[in-house]
C-alpha cells in the first residue's frame, strides 16, 4: 500500500523500487563528480567551451573554415556538445560496474541499473551544456520553430545508441581492463573521423555515405539542420540529402537500435558473473 492508501502490485512496487535506486545513484554520481571542486558544476560548461575555443581559433580563423558559413562556429559548438555527451556517457558507463564493485557484491538488483545511471549522469551534464548552446543560438538571432520538437526524438535516438555502446563496453571492461585505453583512443579517432570540425561536404561521396552509417553523425547533422535552417553552405547536410532519400536516414537509426539490442543481450548473458569478475 502506498502513501495514497492504494495497494500496488508486486510488479509495480518492484519497478518503482528500481526507479528509486536509479534516481539515487544518478543524483549521487552527479554530486560526487564535482564534490570538493571550487567551481563545481561550472566545470561541465568549461570543458566543451574550452575545446570549442581552441578548435574554432585553429580551424575557423587560421584555416578560414568560418568563411564557409556565418553559422560555422555554432555548428562546431553543437557537434562538440553532442560528442562530449557520447564520449562521457560511454566512458562513464564502461567503468561504472567496476567502480561500483562493492555495491553489486552486497545488493541484489539489475546490474544494468548502474550502467544506465552512469549514462544518465552524463545526460544531466549534457542538459547543462544544451542550455549554453541555446544561449549561443539566441545570440545569433535564430528564431525557434515548431519543428524543433523533433530534437527530442533525435536526442532519444542518440541516447539509445549511447546506452547500447556503454552496455557493450562495460561487459568487455569487466573482463578486459585494457578496454579503457582502447576506447579512449577510439573515441579520439571517432571525434576527428566525424564531421564535427569540418563540413561533411568536404569529404568524397563514398566517405560521406560511410560517415552517415555512424548514428552519431546522422543525429548531429539532423540537429544542425533543424537549428541552423537558414544555412545554405552544406554544413547542415543530412543523411537523406546525401544518400538515397529516406532510406539513408533509416539506416543509422536501425544501426542504433541494433547496437542497443546487441549490447543488452550480451550484458544480460554475462550479468550473473559480474560480481565475481569485477
pLDDT value of position 27: 80
Report pLDDT digits (tens) over 142-199.
999 999 999 999 999 999 999 999 999 999 999 899 999 999 999 999 999 999 999 9
pLDDT over 90 at 91, yes or no: yes
Bigger pLDDT: 240 vs 32: 240
pLDDT over 70 at 4, yes or no: no
* Average pLDDT of the residues in 42-52: 88
User: Quick one: what percent of the chain has pLDDT higher than 70?
Assistant: 88
User: Is 216 contained in some domain?
Assistant: yes
Q: Using pLDDT thresholds of 50, 70 and 90, give the confidence band for residue 19.
A: confident
User: Is 192 contained in some domain?
Assistant: yes
Segment of 94-103, 136-145, 227-236 carrying the highest mean pLDDT: 136-145
Q: Residue written as cell 560548461?
A: 45
Is residue 1 classed as helix, strand or coil in its secondary structure?
Answer: coil
pLDDT value of position 8: 57
* Average pLDDT of the residues in 237-256: 84
User: Is 73 contained in some domain?
Assistant: yes
Report which DSSP code applies to 57: I
pLDDT value of position 85: 97
pLDDT over 60 at 2, yes or no: no
Q: Using pLDDT thresholds of 50, 70 and 90, give the confidence band for residue 26.
A: confident
pLDDT over 60 at 6, yes or no: no
* Average pLDDT of the residues in 250-258: 95
Sign of CA dihedral 93, 175, 108, 12: positive
Domain of 147? 36-277
Q: Using pLDDT thresholds of 50, 70 and 90, give the confidence band for residue 135.
A: very high
3-class secondary structure for 58-98?
HHHHHCCHHHCCCCHHHHHHHHHHHHHHHHHHHHHHHHHHH
Q: Using pLDDT thresholds of 50, 70 and 90, give the confidence band for residue 89.
A: very high
* Average pLDDT of the residues in 251-261: 97
Report pLDDT digits (tens) over 158-171.
999 999 999 999 99
User: Is 14 contained in some domain?
Assistant: no
List, in sequence order, the alpha helices (H) in the chain: 10-33, 43-55, 72-99, 101-106, 112-139, 151-175, 179-193, 205-213, 215-227, 239-242, 246-270, 274-277
User: Is 211 contained in some domain?
Assistant: yes
91 and 121 in contact (C-beta within 8 Å)?
Answer: no
Number of domains in the chain: 1
User: Is 22 contained in some domain?
Assistant: no
User: Is 231 contained in some domain?
Assistant: yes
60-64, 177-181, 236-240, 258-262: lowest mean pLDDT where?
A: 236-240
User: Is 9 contained in some domain?
Assistant: no
pLDDT value of position 40: 61
pLDDT value of position 274: 77
Amino acid at each position: 500500500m502506498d502513501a495514497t492508501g492504494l495497494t500496488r502490485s508486486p510488479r509495480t512496487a518492484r519497478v518503482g523500487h528500481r526507479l528509486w535506486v536509479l534516481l539515487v545513484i544518478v543524483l549521487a554520481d552527479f554530486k560526487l563528480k564535482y564534490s570538493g571542486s571550487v567551481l563545481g558544476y561550472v566545470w561541465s560548461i568549461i570543458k566543451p567551451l574550452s575545446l570549442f575555443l581552441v578548435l574554432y581559433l585553429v580551424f575557423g580563423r587560421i584555416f578560414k573554415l568560418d568563411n564557409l558559413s556565418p553559422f560555422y562556429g555554432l555548428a562546431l559548438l553543437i557537434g562538440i556538445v553532442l560528442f562530449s555527451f557520447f564520449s562521457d556517457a560511454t566512458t562513464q558507463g564502461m567503468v561504472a560496474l567496476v567502480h561500483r564493485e562493492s555495491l553489486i557484491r552486497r545488493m541484489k538488483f539489475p546490474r544494468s541499473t548502474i550502467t544506465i545511471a552512469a549514462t544518465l549522469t552524463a545526460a544531466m551534464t549534457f542538459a547543462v551544456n544544451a542550455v549554453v548552446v541555446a544561449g549561443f543560438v539566441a545570440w545569433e538571432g535564430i528564431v525557434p520553430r515548431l519543428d524543433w520538437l523533433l530534437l527530442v526524438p533525435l536526442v532519444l535516438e542518440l541516447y539509445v545508441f549511447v546506452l547500447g555502446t556503454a552496455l557493450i563496453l562495460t561487459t568487455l571492461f569487466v573482463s578486459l581492463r585494457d578496454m579503457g585505453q582502447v576506447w579512449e583512443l577510439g573515441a579520439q579517432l571517432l571525434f576527428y573521423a566525424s564531421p564535427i570540425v569540418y563540413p561533411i561536404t568536404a569529404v568524397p561521396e563514398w566517405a560521406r555515405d560511410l560517415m552517415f552509417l555512424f548514428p552519431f553523425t546522422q543525429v548531429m547533422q539532423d540537429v544542425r539542420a533543424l537549428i541552423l535552417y537558414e544555412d545554405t553552405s552544406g554544413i547542415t547536410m543530412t543523411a537523406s540529402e546525401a544518400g538515397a532519400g529516406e532510406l539513408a536516414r533509416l539506416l543509422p537509426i536501425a544501426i542504433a537500435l541494433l547496437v542497443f539490442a546487441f549490447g543488452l543481450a550480451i550484458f544480460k548473458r554475462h550479468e550473473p558473473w559480474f560480481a565475481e569478475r569485477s
